[in-house]
Amino acid sequence: MDFFFIVLDIYGCLNKFYKNIMSIENLEGRSQIVETPQKRVNVDVLKQRLYEQQRKDRIKTTVTVSVICASIGAIAVIVS
């Protein structure tokens, strides 16, 4: 009897999923093409932002690894 209810539940979920995907609102929203105005981008500014973000990520990674190593070392000293 439980198998029957599981099958009905799965069928209901799939039916809702299908109706959601195939709804007219979703189809209409996907068919609209929005044109954006062309803007010039300074590549050097983007490169600088990317460099700064990579530098911040590298510092975060270094600090995280250092804290983990220090914690493992402290635990090793306490345990021994």
For the chain, the domains span 1-32, 42-80
Q: What is the pLDDT of residues 42-76, one digit of tens each?
A: 889 899 999 999 999 999 999 999 999 999 999 99
Q: What pTM was estimated for this model as a whole?
A: 0.46
CA 45/CA 48 separation, integer angstroms? 5
Buried b (16+ CB within 10 A) or exposed e, 27-64: eeeeeeeeeeeeeeeeeeeeeeeeeeeeeeeeeeeeee
> How high is the pLDDT of residue 47?
92
